[in-house]
Structure 1
Amino acid sequence: MTAVLTLDSSGRLVLPKCFRDKMHLQAGARLRVDMVGDKLEMRQDDAPVKLVRRGKRRVITGWVGFDAAKAVREMREDQVARLEAPFHK
């Protein structure tokens, strides 16, 4: 995916919805931006995930709004699309 983004007068960018959906980003998501040479690399910052005890069980917390089933479906769809793409030499 490729997009051309424009800075507003306060220096902000808006990520297109398709990017936010692909990375499962919601309002308040933290992104890490690194300058590598003359390029910017952006990736999701690791969320503070914890293992807590709830009764007799241990539960992972910190993944607010993450839909694992949807993520797996999307990964499978991406893989199928790559496998169905014509091979170019």
Structure 2
Amino acid sequence: MQAILTLDIAGRLALPEEFRRRHRLREGSRVRIAEEADRIVLEPLEEAAPLVERDGLLLVGAKLESTAPDHRQLREERLAKLATVPE
């Protein structure tokens, strides 16, 4: 995968969505930048999920991020639509 990017006035680059999704990058993700020969290399840093102890169990305190729609909201909208009486 390739992309051509343009630096903004502050020297920042915006990574295309496909790159961010493929490498699981989101706001706040850390990336290492390095020079190798005549190249600039970006390397996503693995972010370890924090461990949390609850009731004597050690749990991964990661946040679950869903890309699926909220089915409860969709159900409420369908019910509201069905409840309306046509004039």
The verdict on a shared fold, with TM-score over 0.5 as the criterion, is yes
Question: Which is greater in Rg?
Answer: 2
CA distance in 1, matches of 2:24, 2:18: 10
Structure 1 outlier segments of 4+, above 6 Å: none
RMSD: 2.0
**SS of equivalent residue, structure 1 residue 7:** coil
Aligned residues: 66
For structure 1, the 5+ residue unaligned runs are 68-89
CA distance in 1, matches of 2:26, 2:65: 9
- Per-residue CA shift, 1:15-40, capped at 9, x if unaligned? 00010111111111111111111111
Note if 1:9 corresponds to 2:9. Answer: yes
CA distance in 1, matches of 2:54, 2:19: 35
CA distance in 1, matches of 2:18, 2:10: 23
- Per-residue CA shift, 1:36-62, capped at 9, x if unaligned? 11111111123244433221211123x
% of aligned pairs identical? 32
TM-score of the superposition, structure 1-length normalised? 0.62
TM-score of the superposition, structure 2-length normalised? 0.63
More helix by share: 1
Q: Is the 8 A contact 1:7 1:13 kept in 2?
A: yes
Note if 1:47 corresponds to 2:40. Answer: no
Task: Tell me the residue number matched to 2:38.
Answer: 38
For structure 2, the 5+ residue unaligned runs are 67-87
Aligned residue identity for 1:55? D
Q: Is the 8 A contact 1:33 1:42 kept in 2?
A: yes
